[in-house]
Chain A
C-alpha cells in the first residue's frame, strides 16, 4: 500500500522559513516523479512544485519560484520542500503527491 506522510508544517512569521518533508513507502520511491500541491483555506488546488525521478529536473509555480526549493533523498525515500521568504498567501495545506498525481498524502498545514 502506497503511503505518503507529510511533516514539518506549523505557524511561522512572514519572511520566515519552513521545511516540509514527505516520507514515502509502499512503492519504489526513486522511480517516481514527486509533486507538492497546496490548498489555501476554502480555496481550490494549486500545483506548487515537481521533481523528476532522478532529481535532475525541478519545476515551480510562478507564485513560489525563487522562494521555494524542492529536493529528494532517495536513500531515505523522502521528499522535501524548503520554503523561504514566506508570505501570508502561502498559508495552506500542503500535499505530497506521488507519480502522475495518483497518490496523495493527508497534507500538512502551513500558517504564515
Chain B
C-alpha cells in the first residue's frame, strides 16, 4: 500500500503565506490521484477544503488554493488568519482495491 507523506508541522505569521505539500511513495502526484485536502480543528470532525487538486467547495475560503508542485500536491494558504490554526490532511486516490490513502497530517500554527 502506498504511503502518503506530509510535513509534520509548519508555522506562519498572521497575514503570511504557507504551502503544505503531499507526497506519494509511488512516485509523482498527478491529477490522476485527485488530491483532496481537509482541515481539522481540535475536537471537531474534519472539514473538506479542496477536491481534484484545486477545486473548492462552496464553503472554502478564497485564501485556500490547490496545485501540483514539483511532483507533489500542494495546498497554499495566502493571508493566514488565527482561525486557520488546525491540522491539515491530504488524501490521494490510487487504482486497485485499496483506493484511498491519507497523509499523516500537518499541524499549522499561526504565530
Residues of A within 8 A of B (CB): 35, 37, 44-47, 50, 59-62, 95, 100-107
Size bin of chain B's contact surface: 20 to 34
Shortest 7 CB-CB contacts between residues of A and residues of B:
A47-B100, A44-B105, A45-B102, A104-B45, A102-B48, A44-B104, A45-B89
For B103, give the chain A residue with the smallest CB separation: A44
CB distance from B35 to the nearest CB of A (A): 11
Residues of B within 8 A of A (CB): 1, 36, 38, 40, 45-48, 51, 57, 87, 89, 91, 97-105
Q: Which secondary structure dominates where chain A touches chain B? A: strand
Contact flag A44-B51 (CB < 8 Å), given A62-B1, A101-B38: no
Cross-chain contact A44 with B98 (CB below 8 angstroms): no
In the complex the two chains form, what is the Cα distance from A45 to B94 in whole Å? 17
In the complex the two chains form, what is the Cα distance from A37 to B91 in whole Å? 11
For A100, give the chain B residue with the smallest CB separation: B51
Which A residues are in CB contact (< 8 Å) with B105? 44-45
CB distance from B21 to the nearest CB of A (A): 16
In the complex the two chains form, what is the Cα distance from A111 to B105 in whole Å? 23
In the complex the two chains form, what is the Cα distance from A35 to B104 in whole Å? 19
Cross-chain contact B51 with A106 (CB below 8 angstroms): no
In the complex the two chains form, what is the Cα distance from A89 to B70 in whole Å? 35
In the complex the two chains form, what is the Cα distance from A106 to B44 in whole Å? 7
Which B residues are in CB contact (< 8 Å) with A107? 45
In the complex the two chains form, what is the Cα distance from A46 to B46 in whole Å? 12
Which A residues are in CB contact (< 8 Å) with B97? 59-60
Partner of B45, one of A44, A100, A105: A105
Cross-chain contact A100 with B36 (CB below 8 angstroms): yes
CB distance from A97 to the nearest CB of B (A): 8
In the complex the two chains form, what is the Cα distance from A70 to B49 in whole Å? 26
Cross-chain contact A59 with B99 (CB below 8 angstroms): yes
Contact flag A101-B45 (CB < 8 Å), given A46-B102, A47-B101, A61-B98: no
